[in-house]
Structure 1
Amino acid sequence: MTSLPEDPPSAISEGDRDTAVQRLQEAYSQGHISHEELDERLHQVLTARTRGELVAALASLPEENAGTTSTIAAAAGRIKRRGAWRVPRILKVESAYGRVRLDLSRAVIEHPVVDIELQLGTGRATITVPRDATVEFEDLRTGWKDTRYKPRARSRPGGPTIRICGTMGYGRLKIRHAWR
């Protein structure tokens, strides 16, 4: 019996590394960690090769703006986020008419769980999640078409959990995993 090759561990970008260094510096300046602990964790961050190693270096730090909720709203037109944007812990997306496209594949995701609340009237929505993300959308109510989502055959531990909830009127939600 042959075994399937495993996916390589989730690599991190320089943006991820820079964000982690900034979080450590903020924790030190606020007195949450000592100078020695700062040095040790900075070494871990600067030598980390995977997202899991990076998360381990930030373990036990207080949540950065843990209570923040951001809202993206448009009455009509498109809502589009892509590239290296910072994803808040709770993201509300509101649109009466128009298309929504959220690409989280290169976004900075600092929280293990991200809640996306959709309040959409008409128009379709596409959400691209990181390759190693876990997706939950049981609390999403759709009025017209079912959600399209094909989970990854093999998921690796350590990726963020993306929970999608809310209401969609006329339109379809398509959720897909990034290729890289």
Structure 2
Amino acid sequence: MTSPPEDPSPVFREDDRDSAVRRVQEAYAEGHISHEEMDERLDRVLTARTHSELGPALASLPEQGAGTTSTIAAAGGRIKRRGAWRVPRMLKVASAFGRVYLDLSRAVIEHPVVDIELQLGTGRARITVPRHAIVDIGDLRTGWKDARYQPPRRSRPGGPTIRITGAMGFGRLRIRHAWR
């Protein structure tokens, strides 16, 4: 009796699985797939053990982050966004000497996860997030001062996840949740 041939695809890492889950969720959030199809695809992604098992779950989905990255950069001066501005899936913010102020409290956030990559020199940054947002600053590297962030005592599910990554030189980052 012969055993079935082994799958030549190597076992993938949890980062690959997390990326696939995000891709399926983004496709649903952008209206490319129905709720039922999202459930089916997520089930396939979560039970897959190899890349070849993962492939059918991601077939026909748009590429991750396709057309949803914006960059805001300034050598000096201020970078300021507030009011009802549309937040892209991936926002890159670079400032050598100036201050950065991002107010997401009234912004239009269409994605369940928003990645903000900061590249700051000596300037400060202040980010106001929606009241029920979940903030992740675990991958942010700081040079001189630490980021200031106090998670809310009570939080309701359903808000977007804001992941802040990148590097800060001598500036300081302050994150706060909006009151309303």
> Between Structure 1 and Structure 2, how many residues are aligned?
126
Percent identical among aligned pairs is 77
Match of 2:126 in 1: 126
Secondary structure in 2 matching 1:175: strand
Deviations, residues 43-87 of structure 1 (Å, cap 9, x unaligned): xxxxxxxxxxxxxxxxxxx88x94221000001100000000000
CA distance in 2, matches of 1:160, 1:110: 9
Aligned partners of 2:145, 2:65: CA distance in 1, in Å?
34
Task: Give the aligned partner of residue 100 of structure 2.
Answer: 100
- Residue deviations 1:80-138, cap 9 Å, x none? 00000000000000011110000000000000000000001111100000000000001
Instruction: Look up the match of 2:166.
Output: 166
TM-score (norm 1): 0.65
2:27 alignment counterpart: none
Q: Which residue of 1 aligns with 2:19?
A: none
- Output the CA distance in 2 between the equivalents of 1:171 and 1:94: 12
Matched letter for residue 109 of structure 1 = I
AA partner of residue 112 (structure 1): P
Q: Distance in 1 between matches of 2:119 and 2:171?
A: 12
SS state of the match for residue 170, structure 1?
coil
Does the CA-based 8 Å contact 2:136-2:161 persist in structure 1? yes
| Separation in 1, partners of 2:172, 2:164 | 13
State the distance in 1 between where 2:99 and 2:65 align.
Answer: 29
The 2-side partners of 1:153 and 1:134 are apart by 12
Q: Distance in 2 between matches of 1:101 and 1:168?
A: 15
Q: Name stretches of at least 5 consecutive residues in structure 2 with no aligned partner.
A: 1-29, 35-60
Q: Match for residue 138 of structure 1?
A: 138
Unaligned runs of 5+ in 1: 1-25, 34-61
> How much is the aligned-residue C-alpha RMSD, in angstroms?
2.4
> What is the Cα deviation at residue 154 of structure 1?
1.1
Task: Establish whether residue 74 from structure 1 lines up as the match of residue 63 from structure 2.
Answer: no
Q: TM-score, normalised by structure 2?
A: 0.65
**Residue pairs, 1:11-30, within 5 angstroms:** none
- Residue 55 of structure 1 corresponds to none
| Structure number with bigger Rg | 2
Runs of 4+ with deviation above 6 angstroms:
none
Q: Check whether the contact 2:96–2:122 (CA below 8 A) recurs between aligned residues.
A: yes
Which amino acid in structure 1 is aligned with residue 163 of structure 2? R
Amino acid at match of 1:146: D
